[in-house]
Structure 1
Amino acid sequence: MSSTTPDPHDFLDLDAELSGEDRDIRDAVRAYAADHLLPNVAEWYESGSLPARDLAKGFGELGVLGMHLTGYGCAGTSATAYGIACRELEAVDSGLRSFVSVQGSLAMFAIHRWGSEAHRETWLPRMATGDALGCFGLTEPDAGSDPGSMRTRAVRDGSDWVLTGTKMWITNGTVADVAVVWAQTEDGIRGFVVPTGTPGFTANEVRHKLSLRASLTAELVLDNVRLPADAAFPEVRGLRGPLSCLNEARYGILFGVVGAARSCYQAALDYSLTREQFGKPLAGFQLTQRKLADLLVEVNRAGLVALRIGRLKDAGTLHHNHVSFGKLANVRSALEVARTARAMLGANGISLEYPVMRHMANLETVLTYEGTEEMHALSLGQSVTGLPAFR
């Protein structure tokens, strides 16, 4: 039995389970975040803006854009290392992890997995360095959880494709150089690589958000966008293509929210140790200690779930329902941690001087995107019963 008191910031010593490379990546991302992101994130959040090009170049130099992909200038790290990077980014803000997730796990992964060799060679090296930004056009105003009902269409006109439709809630849409757009065709749903300078392509900024404000969100309008025949992904048909990309993004989320939860727990712990009421620190009261214990358990339990799922992914045995488990469980835990921590800070909990209200508001979006809580619950229900209940 060890006599060493557990670290309150890593109570179960989960980071001891990481490889040397994983820890190096953790330290590099954490240091970059402390120097370049944390000092500015409250201002970005309050103004609803983001210096996307500067961030892209910085993230490219850091090596986190498409870091879990191989070749074409990508780092080719382990899945666990990518998850740890997401954790450290979301400890700052969910919008920053979303920036990296959309670039690497949606746009770059789609091109890497389903694109032609020409698509890969044209886009991936520049996207890995941050010289080109991508977005992922799947969700529509009337097709969120049911992407199979999308209305965006691609029709043949000679050897060309002509795309018409609207996509909604598209991260990085207003700054992207290339959009991966999914559309209905006579041959089923197909993906298209769309340079955003193509005539008929418009990205309109979505304003007045109360969550994920340090993130750029767009509506994409495709008005008879004409593309050459080779703009289409050559092989994949149906929802298999876009859902495989979403699974990659959800994986980053289930790691990322551990960082958001950790940030809220640490803020509550530090505040309760320094804030005095009735002649002693808040941390000296039984009710406060019970809340801290609850936060501690949730943060470490979510970390265990993420680490186990990372190991499954690295071993090649990950099932998409494992990812649903992680997304459902960890986002739920993180949101509960954020809400409790917000209350523990009292009136200060609503101030941007502290991170908890910002994380709490962001996690309401994270709960919804890349599959709502209800959709992941139904996925798990089908997994254990064999009975689909989506319709």
Structure 2
Amino acid sequence: MTATVTSDPTVQLDDDDFRDILAHTRTFVRNVVVPREQEIDETDAIPAEIRTAAKDMGLFGFATPQQWGGLGMNLVQDVELAMELGYTTLALRSMFGTNNGIAGQVLVSYGTEEQKTTWLEGIASGEVVASFALTEAGAGSNPAGLRTKAVRDGDDWLITGEKRFITNALIANLFVVFARTRSADSDGPGIAVFLVPSDTPGVQVGSKDRKMGHAGSTTATVHFDGVRVPSSALVGGSEDVGYRAAMTSLARGRVHVAALAVGQAQRALDESVAYAATATQGGTAIGDFQLVQAMLADQQTGVMAGRALVRDAARSWVEDTDRRLAPSIAKLYCTEMVGKVADLAVQIHGGSGYMREVAVERIYRDVRLLCLYEGTSEIQRLIIGGGLVKQARNTAGGQR
């Protein structure tokens, strides 16, 4: 798979190249990764040859601009790719998700030219693994509550705090770390973001978390004990970039996660239809039973609605017509939808669906996380509801 790349930052991935990449990714996912899902689940690791293949395909930099060695997909293209990646174990996407998403996009959107030159080509190639270090014990979906601190010491910054559930922490080369530099005031929330190489003295990564699902994707706690970084590590060269960078990266990531949910839902539906068409009860294929058909219909309806919603949200992002409510709406609906589709998939499979080594059992466990990370469903509801009220007040105020 090859795509024409350029150093011109205004150039986007053209449609022909994108179609080739999408087709190649679909073949890779379904012919290479799907047959090894059980191995990944049992070993809790992505095979080295799959990682190498993903790097060679450019998947570590699909959303990085072409001028920095990436494929340069916009979000409309990104979600189509995500729906293909979501068809298999979500650990595959997690392997390069932070490079393209919440970590990489902070650099793409807010980094200085020096910071981009130093890091983005390595991130796009997969030689550098970037981790997004935001979540803390008391600050998950609401970054305003974070307690990690960064204080000036001459021309340097000293960072102290602890981050939890950090994806790829055990293999990260770079941590994109959010820290409070002052109390929130009229100038902003006082949150900055720093680039911290993983080998910096004072950085300590804990043991691998034991999770319900997502085997093959590692998370861990990361401790920062008086970690000294130079002023050049401050993203954008400004203390006030951090909160805005976090919110923008998370909002964009919500559309991507929604697309992953659609991919998982499509897989659960396909497994359900295949099982219903062949499994029998009393000599009759269970797919001939009307109650099973009703469950399949509900699954299909959810998948189609989710796909349309994701595409609409991505288009709104690219056109810059809605970068706040649409991402939350897409994530809320699609991640809740995939949970219902996965639950129906287990029900259709009956006792078989509760057994390990059956795809829908793994999907059922894996998709539960989608309602939690990059903003819980409850946070999405608050964003949507509050946003609607604010819009109504603004409209009413403009009519006075």
TM-score after normalising by structure 2: 0.88
Cα distance between partner residues in 2 of 1:320 and 1:157: 37
Superposition map of 1:149-188 within 5 A: 149-186=145-182, 188=190
Q: What secondary structure, in the 3-state scheme, does the structure 2 residue paired with 1:192 have?
A: strand
Instruction: Give the conservation status (yes or no) of the 8 Å contact 1:56–1:131.
Output: no
Partners of 1:165 and 1:323 in 2: CA distance? 30
Counterpart among 330, 335, 358 of residue 362 in structure 2: 358
Query: In 2, Cα distance between the equivalents of 1:198 and 1:58?
Result: 30
1:311 equivalent in alignment to 2:315: yes
> Of the candidates 254, 260, 265, which is equivalent to residue 250 of structure 1?
254
The equivalent residue for 2:288 is 284
User: CA deviation digits over 1:59-100, x for unaligned, max 9?
Assistant: 232122232332210111232221111111111022222333
CA distance in 1, matches of 2:129, 2:380: 29
Verify: 1:293 aligned to 2:297, yes or no.
yes
Matched, 1:74 2:78: no
1:145 aligns with 2:141: yes
Mapped to 2, the partners of 1:146 and 1:292 lie a distance apart of: 37
* Contact in 2 for aligned 1:103/1:133 (Cα 8 Å): yes
| Alpha-carbon distance, 1:146 to partner | 2.3
**In percent, how many aligned pairs have the same letter?**
29
How far the C-alpha of 1:287 sits from its partner, in A, is 0.8
- Match of 1:49, SS? coil
Q: Distance in 1 between matches of 2:329 and 2:368?
A: 18
Paired positions, count: 370
Partner of 1:336: 340
370-379 vs 62-71, which moves further: 62-71
Q: Which residue number in structure 2 is paired with residue 118 of structure 1?
A: 114
Alignment of 1:178-257 (within 5 A): 178-186=174-182, 188-233=190-235, 234-235=237-238, 236-257=240-261
Contact 2:165 2:209 in 1 (8 A): no
> What CA distance in whole angstroms lies between the structure 2 residues aligned with 1:316 and 1:54?
39
> 2:215 & 2:140 partners in 1: Cα distance?
20
- 1:131 match: 127
* Alpha-carbon distance in 2 for matches of 1:249, 1:37: 23
Structure 1 distance, partners of 2:266, 2:17, is 22
Residues 213-261 of structure 1 show CA distances to partners (whole Å, capped at 9, x for unaligned) of 2211011100111111111111343521111111122121011111000
Pick which of 373-382 and 308-317 moved more: 308-317
User: Structure 1, residues 326-346: CA drift from partner, whole Å, max 9, x if none?
Assistant: 000111111100000111111
- The Cα offsets for residues 80-138 of structure 1, whole Å up to 9 and x where unpaired, read as 22111111111102222233321211121111111121211111111111111110000
> Is the 2:46–2:91 Cα contact (8 Å) retained in structure 1?
no
RMSD: 2.0
Match of 2:350 among 346, 358, 372: 346
Alpha carbons 2:170, 2:208 under 8 Å: kept? no
Paired residue type of 1:349? G
Question: How far apart in 2 are the matches of 1:195 and 1:47?
Answer: 28
Q: 1:35 aligns with which of 31, 44, 50?
A: 31
Q: CA deviation at 1:20?
A: 4.8
Following TM superposition, by how much is the alpha carbon of 1:23 offset from its aligned partner in structure 2, in angstroms? 3.4
1:238–1:82 CA distance, 2 compared to 1 (3 A) = closer
The Cα of 1:205 is off from its aligned counterpart by: 2.9
CA deviations 1:28-78 (Å, max 9, x no partner) are 111111233222222222333334x65554323212223233221011123
Measure the CA separation in 2 of the matches of 1:186 and 1:367.
Answer: 31
Matched, 1:93 2:89: yes
Of the three residues 266, 272, 276, the one matched with 1:268 is 272
Find the aligned partners of 1:325 and 1:279 in 2 and give their Cα distance: 44
Distance in 2 (CA, whole Å) between partners of 1:320 and 1:69 is 22
Between 145-154 and 260-269, the greater mean CA deviation after superposition: 145-154
1:184-238 Cα shifts (integer Å, max 9, x gaps): 1138110100000011101113332112222110111001111111111113435
Conserved in 2, the CA contact under 8 Å of 1:64 and 1:85? Answer: no
Name whichever of 151-160 and 237-246 sits farther off: 237-246
Asked if structure 1 preserves the Cα contact closer than 8 Å seen for 2:46 and 2:92, the reply is no
Q: Report the more deviating stretch, 310-319 or 168-177.
A: 310-319
Rounded Cα–Cα distance in structure 1 between residues aligned with 2:61 and 2:110: 15
Under a length normalisation based on structure 1, what TM-score does the superposition of the two structures give? 0.90
Bigger mean CA offset, 202-211 vs 360-369: 202-211
One-letter amino acid matched to 1:213: A
Q: Which runs of no fewer than 5 residues in structure 1 stay unpaired?
A: 1-17
Q: Is the 8 A contact 2:110 2:241 kept in 1?
A: no
Shift of 1:369: 0.6
Secondary structure of the equivalent of 2:60?
Answer: coil
Which amino acid in 2 is paired with 1:220?
V
Secondary structure at 1:358's aligned position in 2? helix
